[in-house]
Amino acid sequence: MEKNNEKKLVSNLEKEIQTDFHQEMSYGDYLQLDKILSSQHLLSDHHDEMLFVIIHQASELWMKLIIHELSAATECIKRNDLEPSFKMLSRVSRIQQQLIQSWSVLSTLTPAEYLEFRDKLGHSSGFQSYQNRLIEFALGQKNKHTLLVYQHEIELYELLNKALYEPSIYDAAIQALAARGLSIDEEALERDWSQTYNSNKSVEDAWLTVYRNVNQYWDLYELAEKLVDIGSQQQLWRFNHMSTVERIIGHKKGTGGSSGVTYLKRVLDHQFFPELWSLRTKL
């Protein structure tokens, strides 16, 4: 009976569909689904811990793609080859939308449910996400002290330390302004890359020139708007993060020792690419 059902199933398939994967690579082989789908090691028997784990694992995969795209886009900008970067940066902002949406899924976890397994997390915390830190570094928010969290893993520490001293995508964009003949202060072009970027009047004036002469500087204008999209989405992600945490744990301290919601609200005060926002008032 079972063999007849199998034959019927095969006969109902289109003739060209591959069904024998004894010597061929399958979908699951290509994606290594055996590793991905067996990586949810729950520390409690509570139903909702699976949600908590998968949300964070999926977010880390999306972050990996953001880093991949930002790195490539930054290299394009450094070469003054701006157009290829636009697709990459558009992709980043779309990925950010996925990350923002993930908070609404996590918010279905109630405070009582989370308390059932929160103590199993120990001191592990999203604050320790090295990929989130790499994204912040790539966007220009640098903080050397955060590297202390990774000192127990030498490879990670060295990776982050290297990223700390590299120019961000915004530094590359400012250098692109200068390459096009726009006047930029030397202190903005040759600064300490390990420091968080701070607003510079010459940079604001250069961007104002771009926005007032769109036809002449169309590629720089397009680059600026792509960066604004990313900066805006990053702030939305941060806000939704803070809001979700407040909804689930209120103002308790974070598992990693931070002040929790208070810390997340303070982080919201930082604005990426400051001149691209301040120029709007002056246009």
Binding-site positions read 52-56, 114, 118, 241, 255
- Token pair 């449910």 in the structure block, residue: 113
Going by the annotation, the residues of the binding site for heme are 241
Going by the annotation, the residues of the binding site for substrate are 52-56, 114, 118, 255
Helix axes 201-212, 218-249, angle to 10 degrees: 120
d(CA 124, CA 109): 18
CA-closest candidate to residue 239, choices 122, 100, 86: 100
CA-closest candidate to residue 200, choices 175, 232, 230: 175
Q: What is the 3-state secondary structure (H, E, C) of 119-176?
A: HHHCCCCHHHCHHHHHHHHHHCCCCHHHHHHHCCCHHHHHHHHHHHCCCCHHHHHHHH
